[in-house]
Amino acid sequence: MLRCLTFTLIVFTKYTALCVEGPDPVPPDLVVRTQSDDTVPSESVGCGCQSLKRESVVDTEGDRTDSSVKPAVKYSEIMNEMPSNPRDEDTKSQMVLIPGGEALMGTDDPGIPPDGEGPQRAVYLDPFFMDVQEVSNLQFWAFVNATGYVTEAEQYGDSFVFEGILSESVKSQISQAVAAAPWWLPVKGASWRNPEGRGSGITERLRHPVLHVSWKDAGAYCSWALKRLPTEAEWEHACRGGLKDRLFPWGNKLNPKEQHYANLWQGDFPKYNSAEDGYAQTSPVMSFPANGYGLYDMVGNAWEWTADWWTVYHGTERQQNPTGPSSGTERVKKGGSYMCHKSYCYRYRCAARSQNTPDSSASNLGFRCVSAEPR
């Protein structure tokens, strides 16, 4: 008991340190969010999107790992479920050329200033090729099938899952939570192949983005495909699709002509998701319109890892092919996810950003790759 109490105190100390920018002392799960889509309430600058650290889990019952189901066993189980001979075009992403040249990164009108969205600064980027889509479950399966790769979530034995997509049966077995964001639960057995834990699967979601992949897992996939993770500058430049000083990949209006351009959250987060855009969870990749460069789901659906270490401090000098800080403790992720709503996580803008420790994995975090040549 003493050990647990001590650990909890440590967690809340970390939570306090992380949340100095959030002025609202009310626990996040007790906040009633009724703001219209035109306002950004104070809690949107608080913790949540970035709080998925393995060490931030409050463990009230001790051991949080589960070694009863070995990765090798799960590996063989899923092989029986997957297509025996998928087509090349299903396991290989199409890529498009992202033109290089002068570009603007960040914004002088940040939606969430503590995230380090500003200042706006000039960068020069070489041209590169980018996957038009988030890496899908089927594509990741092809990688695992070829290499036997075991993800970090499978090694740890758990991953973070949004409680809103878990069954009551699974939730009743969990005695842990993330102090800063109690709707995130560490679920034993959750991984890319079992997104909501044991008993769940991906056979009905083969063309949805792969989830529960750590930064290292994402990099391993890209390397296997002879690609790499994009830098934050590359990702943001690609997100803008050739438009300058716009919030979203398609412009400044969230729903032009009353249409949805990304898989986001409609309703009151985290209690009610109306799924007005057609999806309460992830959508098949490329379900929403592409941006000007032909890229799909750059904002929304799944968050996307980038190669850069996280910092909120940026110089204003013009940089050439910037790669971010030389060291750090967290990696940058971009684009927001199907869980993002303006009232809580207004991070589905090209200039928006968030971060996770590299070993983090969750039910809303994926990636895509880039390369110098089309692969």
Q: Which residues would be at the binding site for Ca ion (CB under 5 A)? A: 263, 277, 279, 297, 301-302, 335, 338
d(CA 3, CA 54): 17
151 vs 281, which CB is nearer to Ca ion?
281
Pick the closer one to Ca ion by CB: 56 or 273: 273
Best CA proximity match to 241, nearest among 293, 290, 289: 293
Phi-psi region of 159 (alpha: psi -120 to 50; beta: other; left: phi over 0): beta
Closest contact distance (angstroms) between CB of 79 and Ca ion is 28
**Separation of CA 245 from chain center:** 23
CB closer to Ca ion out of 107 and 263? 263
Which CB sits closer to Ca ion, 52 or 78? 52
The least CB distance from residue 266 to Ca ion, in Å, is 6
> Which residues are registered as beta bridge partners of 81?
none
Which residues does 290 contact at the CB level (< 8 Å), separation at least 6? 132, 296
Cβ at position 334, least distance to Ca ion in Å: 8
Which 3 state secondary structure label does DSSP give 115? helix
Q: Are 305 and 360 in contact (CB under 8 A)?
A: no
Q: How far apart are alpha carbons 165 and 147 in whole angstroms?
A: 30
Structure tokens at 162: 């949004």
Nearest distance, CB of residue 70 and Ca ion, angstroms: 32
Choice between 15 and 128, CB closer to Ca ion:
128
Q: How far is the CB of 275 from Ca ion (least distance, A)?
A: 5
